[in-house]
């Protein structure tokens, strides 16, 4: 805002014809009391903008001691009134965004802290289980050791087959080279042994309806495990087996924490037959292709044998009957 003409360097040093009052269009002369709009930079007599002498003197006094005071004419004030409102709204929105951002940061910090606490709790819980049941850890290590030893023996045998040599004690005995068919059979046996070791603690569950949401499948698994009487956190969902086909329900593969959990889950699966909503659920070991063929062979044979032995059943990979407390083997896949 500019005030007194004399103190602002306005009309006294300019051509008076070019410095006209925006309101009355008359010249604004030296020593006349006038105001200059800080937006459009046009001069106006104080009478034309309805500013009295007292107000004008106060404006001049304030502007002399405190630079930076601005004044706008009515036209510019109306024009920039909307701009001021929009700027005020922008400032308020910025403040709201800052508040939300701060709240999100605080929430993220809490979530990260909770995740850290959960990880620590899981580690502590795992350590406690190991400390409480050291025998379980030893048993698992022994089982893993046995598997590694078996695989090691198979690799040695495979190496001997390929080289045509066999070591007996400190003596290496040369043997006739095997045929391609024999080599393929041995390789298949090695692959089968490795595949069985990978599936050792896995099971498959039949009858869990298809869903696009993994969470629904996981919840159903938890319900099944609970009904069977096994601890929920000891059985984890892995995947659906096979490609999706409309109208067909794929089996669900799960992994158990240890062999004991796997045995208990299989043993208690019969309870599901008497539970409403679970009578179509069936739990089975996660068999290799070779084991699946053997299993089919057993079941087909069981149908034939039940014509004679109504109490016949599959037990430990064989078809047996119990007569007077004695276990009698009727058929094994090798027969």
Written in H, E and C, the secondary structure of 228-240 is HCCCHHHEEEEEE
Residue 43 lies in a domain: yes
Residue 192 lies in a domain: yes
- State whether 320 and 263 are in the same domain: no
Q: What would the pLDDT profile of 87-99 be if each residue is shown by its tens digit?
A: 778 888 888 888 8
Residue 327 Rama label (left phi>0; alpha psi -120 to 50; beta) = beta
Q: What would the pLDDT profile of 52-75 be if each residue is shown by its tens digit?
A: 988 888 888 877 766 667 788 888
Judged by average pLDDT, the poorest of 3-12, 135-144, 248-257 is: 3-12
Q: What would the pLDDT profile of 232-270 be if each residue is shown by its tens digit?
A: 999 999 899 988 888 889 999 999 999 899 999 998 888
Residues 6+ apart with CB under 8 A from 320: 312, 313, 314, 327, 328, 329, 330
Q: What would the pLDDT profile of 157-198 be if each residue is shown by its tens digit?
A: 656 655 555 555 554 545 555 567 766 777 777 788 888 888
Tally of domains in the chain: 4
Residue 84 lies in a domain: no
pLDDT at 240: 92
Q: What are phi and psi of 151, to 5 degrees?
A: -65, -35
Residue 220 lies in a domain: yes
Residues 6+ apart with CB under 8 A from 141: none
Domain boundary among 197, 214, 235: 197
Give the ranges where the chain is alpha helix by DSSP (H). Answer: 5-8, 53-65, 74-132, 134-163, 180-198, 214-228, 259-268, 289-305
Distance CA 17, CA 333 (A): 120
Would you place residue 14 in the very low, low, confident or very high pLDDT band (cuts 50, 70, 90)? very low
Distance CA 100, CA 115 (A): 22
Judged by average pLDDT, the poorest of 115-124, 241-250, 299-308 is: 115-124
Distance CA 251, CA 202 (A): 13
Cβ atoms of 240 and 250 within 8 Å: the answer is yes
Neighbours of 163 (CB within 10 A): 12
Judged by average pLDDT, the poorest of 31-40, 133-142, 286-295, 323-332 is: 133-142
């Amino acid at each position: 805002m500019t005030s007194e003409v004399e103190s602002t360097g306005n009309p006294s040093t300019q051509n008076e014809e070019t410095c006209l009052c925006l309101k009355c269009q008359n010249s604004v002369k030296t020593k006349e009391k006038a105001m200059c709009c800080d937006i459009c930079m046009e001069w106006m007599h104080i009478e034309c903008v309805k500013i009295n002498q007292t107000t004008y003197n106060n404006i001049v006094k304030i502007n002399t001691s405190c630079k930076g005071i601005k004044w706008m004419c009515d036209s510019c004030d109306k024009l920039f009134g909307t701009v001021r409102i929009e700027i005020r709204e922008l400032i308020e929105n910025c403040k709201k965004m800052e508040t939300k951002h701060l709240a999100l940061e605080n929430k993220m910090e809490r979530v990260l802290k909770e995740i850290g606490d959960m990880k620590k709790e899981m580690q502590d819980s795992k350590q406690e289980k190991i400390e409480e049941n050291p025998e379980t850890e030893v048993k698992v290590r022994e089982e893993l050791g046995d598997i590694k030893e078996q695989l090691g023996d198979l690799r040695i045998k495979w190496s001997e087959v390929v080289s045509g040599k066999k070591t007996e004690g400190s003596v290496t005995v040369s043997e006739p080279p095997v045929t391609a068919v024999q080599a393929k059979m041995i390789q298949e046996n090695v692959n089968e042994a490795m595949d069985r070791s990978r599936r050792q603690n896995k099971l498959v569950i039949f009858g869990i309806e298809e869903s696009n949401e993994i969470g629904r499948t996981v919840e159903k698994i938890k319900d099944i495990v609970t009904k069977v009487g096994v601890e929920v956190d000891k059985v984890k969902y892995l995947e659906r087996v096979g490609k999706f086909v409309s109208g067909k329900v794929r089996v669900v593969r799960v992994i158990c924490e240890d062999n004991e959990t796997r045995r208990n889950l299989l043993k208690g699966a019969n309870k599901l037959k008497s539970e409403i909503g679970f009578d179509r659920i069936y739990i089975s070991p996660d068999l290799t292709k070779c084991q699946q063929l053997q299993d089919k062979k057993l079941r087909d044979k069981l149908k034939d044998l039940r014509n004679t032995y109504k109490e016949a059943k599959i037990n430990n990979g064989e078809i047996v009957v119990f007569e007077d407390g004695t276990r009698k083997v009727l058929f094994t896949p090798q027969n």
